[in-house]
């Protein structure tokens, strides 16, 4: 499955939730228009079961499922790819393990040079952020709109923005050069389907 060129990139919010809750929420996010799902779970209880169920839901709707941080889990369940942070191992290792068709994305924080280097290593997308205060990554260093503008001039793969993004502030990130908006809390809070839909309108302008 190919990585989409634009749209809402929803990242699971698992803390304090049952597997079934997460499954139901992801189903609603896709119904609301999410074009990518990332399974992110910092304290997994049953990662293989939950990620396998999410993969079924995603594939039924032609939406790729990426695994955060864990190349071996992605390999085990046959996920579409993986998202790597700076502590999560080499791009080449992930490519060797997952194959040429896998989607590999990397966190580039506020660093265009890091993104250019990752692009040369064959990643499918680069992610910058956090752009706004974020409860899921409160200590992450802030990223600047200028970074997106510079990246857009130099980078050919899709650019993902992350960090505290709401329907009210996402438009300025798209205007600065982001192709996709990665969201956790803004989607997986109360009315998941309606929340996802609210982001989708940003991509119609």
Catalytic residue chosen out of the listed positions 40, 51, 130, 134 = 40
Burial bucket for residue 152 (CB in 10 Å: 0-12, 13-18, 19+) = middle
Active site residue 137: yes
Count CB neighbours of 131 within 10 A. Answer: 25
Active site residue 2: no
* Contacts of residue 83, Cβ cutoff 8 Å, sequence gap at least 6: 38, 66, 67, 68, 69, 104, 105, 106, 107, 127
Instruction: Provide the β-strand partners of residue 9.
Output: 36, 182
Catalytic residue chosen out of the listed positions 76, 137, 152, 193 = 137
Active site residue 197: no
Does residue 130 have a cis bond before it (omega within 30 degrees)? yes
Catalytic residue chosen out of the listed positions 107, 134, 195, 197 = 107
| Residues with catalytic roles | 40, 107, 137
């Amino acid at each position: 499955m190919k990585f989409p060129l634009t749209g809402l990139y929803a990242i699971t919010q698992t803390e304090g939730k049952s597997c079934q809750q997460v499954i139901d929420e992801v189903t609603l996010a896709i119904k609301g228009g999410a074009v990518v799902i990332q399974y992110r779970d910092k304290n997994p209880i049953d990662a293989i079961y939950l990620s396998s169920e999410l993969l079924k839901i995603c594939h039924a709707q032609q939406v790729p499922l990426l695994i955060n941080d864990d190349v071996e889990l992605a390999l085990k369940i046959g996920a579409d790819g993986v998202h790597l942070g700076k502590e999560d191992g080499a791009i080449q290792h992930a490519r060797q393990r997952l194959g040429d068709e896998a989607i590999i994305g990397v966190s580039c924080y506020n660093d265009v040079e890091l993104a250019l280097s990752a692009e040369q290593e064959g990643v499918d997308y680069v992610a910058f952020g956090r752009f706004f205060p974020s409860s899921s990554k409160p200590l992450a260093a802030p990223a600047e709109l200028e970074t997106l503008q510079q990246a857009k001039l130099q980078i050919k793969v899709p650019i993902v923005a992350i960090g505290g993004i709401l329907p009210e502030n996402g438009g300025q990130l798209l205007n600065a050069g982001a192709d996709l908006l990665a969201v956790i809390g803004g989607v997986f809070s109360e009315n998941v389907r309606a929340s996802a839909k609210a982001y989708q309108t940003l991509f119609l302008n």
